Structure 1
Amino acid sequence: MIVLLSNDDGIHAPGLKALAESLQELGDLYIVAPDRERSATGHGITVHRPLRLETVSIPGIKAMAWAVDGTPADCVKLAVEDLLPNPPAVVVAGINQGPNLGTDVLYSGTVSAAIEGIINGFPALAISLTSYGSHDFTSAAEVARKVVNLAMQKGLPRGTLLNINVPAAKPRGIRFTRLGNRRYVNIFHKRTDPRGRIYYWMAGEPLDLEENGDDTDVQAIKQNFISITPIQLDLTDYQSLQILRQQWGEITFTF
């Protein structure tokens, strides 16, 4: 079977290599990733210029690999539409350096690579190590291998990806979770350059919210559990849809 890997930290990121090492015995490995870091690009795609790519050799990894001068979504789209000889059995994005918790998934290039997989009808996973300081991907890579095996054996609901976050310390266990709410404070640092012009540097720190209960990915990581959250492509709020149909009724506009 074909296993397609991508990420947003770039083709030479240590997390991607660790992921490839853990999965290369599962099938024919193909890697299509950005040529440089593309974190927080969300699901952007490149439409106003051509995409260029080059083959890459990753030491110790038996795989066909390409570096693309585009976004993570570009990489997966290009892979499934042109580069792969056959459709992938699974798309795996990661291992991301840093958490992808709660509302982070809306900005994450790694999660967007997995989303592009399910858009094209393939099972997909995104996996992150929830630390910027630790570069030990051993646990995250092992979790990725086990979850991919389970996904291939038991299947995943169509249109659903698994967003996996692994703590840097030894995990206490695994929780199936819902997305929490990650809100940030002190987002912009206002500064002045040497020529007196004002510029802004986006940063910010996560704010603890009471609504992040024990069933959320945010709280699971705080308690040192691995978090596995199913994310669906359909963003429709069906409860609100029903309310609108019942309470608003038929709407007539005159144009």
Structure 2
Amino acid sequence: MRILVSNDDGYSAAGIEALVAALRPLGDITVIAPETNCSGASNSLTLSRPLSVRQAANGFYHVNGTPSDCIHVALTGLLDFRPDLLVSGINNGANLGEDTLYSGTVAAASEGFLFGVPSIAFSLVQREWRHLDCAAQVARELVGRFRDSPWPEPMLLNVNIPAVPYHALKGFRTTRLGRRHPSEPVIRSTSPYGDEVYWIGPVGRARDSGPETDFGAIEANAVSMTPLRLDLTDHSRTEAIASWAGLSMAP
């Protein structure tokens, strides 16, 4: 199996090193990741300047761009093969609920999915890499499952792993995305040059966190597996919008 690996924390992050070490027994690994931390980059592509691809001493390729840049460049010209699977992570922190809209980790996976490559994003829900070995073992198990029983069509899977020892996990759950309260207010500060600047505030607390959600699974120390799709159309409101706008629906 040929596995393409990326992340949003940068090619030198502990999470991607642990992920690659865990997956090496399962196939041929190619790493193409951002040169620097790109957390919160979402699905952005760099269009205002050219991108450079370099190879580190450990064999990892790194790009001076976003996670989506990495996968886009890889799948549209850099690689001379099509990967069987794209794996993104292991992220330093959770990607739950609305986090998925901003996450560079999920964005790398969704870019692969857009090109028809089955893709999985892995995130360790607490920062500072606590129990990273547990997350790596979970990744190895799920990728091993994919190798032995591949999905018949491309999938996009968002996996969040509690920061606990592996023996403390309470199984695996398929979940839906929960919801957060609005983010905390921005934090005002002053630059060394006297300019007023703003830091984005912390994410909001969970407000839809039932047992069937990703928040609920993590609260119960279970691995959360959320299948995602990229169709943003609200099909339930198409007729209502047409009526509101005074338009007739096309046949």
Query: Could you say whether these structures have the same fold, taking a TM-score greater than 0.5 normalized by the shorter chain as the test?
Result: yes
Is the 2:119–2:154 Cα contact (8 Å) retained in structure 1?
no
Match for residue 57 of structure 2?
A: 57
Is the 1:160–1:233 Cα contact (8 Å) retained in structure 2?
no
Residues 126-182 of structure 1: per-residue CA shift (max 9 Å, x gap): 000001133431111111111112223333364531100001013222111000112
* Range moving further from structure 2, 143-152 or 94-103: 143-152
In the superposition, relative to structure 1, how do residues 84 and 174 fare at CA in structure 2: closer, same or farther (>3 Å)?
A: same
CA distance in 2, matches of 1:159, 1:243: 32
Match for residue 13 of structure 2?
A: 13
* Range moving further from structure 2, 3-12 or 157-166: 157-166
Could you tell me which of 211, 228, 246 is aligned with 2:225? 228
CA distance in 2, matches of 1:194, 1:37: 24
In the superposition, relative to structure 1, how do residues 164 and 23 fare at CA in structure 2: closer, same or farther (>3 Å)?
A: same
Computed over aligned residues only, the root mean square deviation of the Cα atoms, in angstroms, reads 2.0
1:33 maps onto 2:28 in alignment: no
TM-score by length of 1: 0.89
**1:250, distance to aligned residue in structure 2 (A):** 7.3
Amino acid at match of 1:200: Y
**1:37, distance to aligned residue in structure 2 (A):** 0.4
What runs of 5+ residues in structure 1 fail to find an aligned partner?
A: 59-63
Q: How many residues align?
A: 245
1:202 maps onto 2:197 in alignment: no
What SS does the aligned partner of 2:194 have? coil
Amino acid at match of 2:117: F
CA distance in 2, matches of 1:213, 1:158: 29
Alignment map for 1:160-171 (pairs within 5 Å)? 160-169=155-164, 170-171=168-169
What SS does the aligned partner of 1:235 have? coil
In the superposition, relative to structure 1, how do residues 157 and 218 fare at CA in structure 2: closer, same or farther (>3 Å)?
A: farther
What SS does the aligned partner of 2:113 have? helix
Amino acid at match of 1:232: R
In the superposition, relative to structure 1, how do residues 76 and 248 fare at CA in structure 2: closer, same or farther (>3 Å)?
A: same
Could you tell me which of 111, 132, 139 is aligned with 1:137? 132
Alignment map for 1:19-168 (pairs within 5 Å)? 19-58=19-58, 64-156=59-151, 158=153, 160-168=155-163
Is the 1:159–1:234 Cα contact (8 Å) retained in structure 2?
no
In the superposition, relative to structure 1, how do residues 206 and 250 fare at CA in structure 2: closer, same or farther (>3 Å)?
A: closer
**1:244, distance to aligned residue in structure 2 (A):** 4.8
Is the 2:178–2:206 Cα contact (8 Å) retained in structure 1?
no
Is the 1:159–1:232 Cα contact (8 Å) retained in structure 2?
no
CA distance in 2, matches of 1:202, 1:18: 29
Q: Percent identity?
A: 39
Match for residue 236 of structure 2?
A: 239
CA distance in 1, matches of 2:190, 2:96: 32
**1:198, distance to aligned residue in structure 2 (A):** 1.3
Is the 1:161–1:230 Cα contact (8 Å) retained in structure 2?
yes
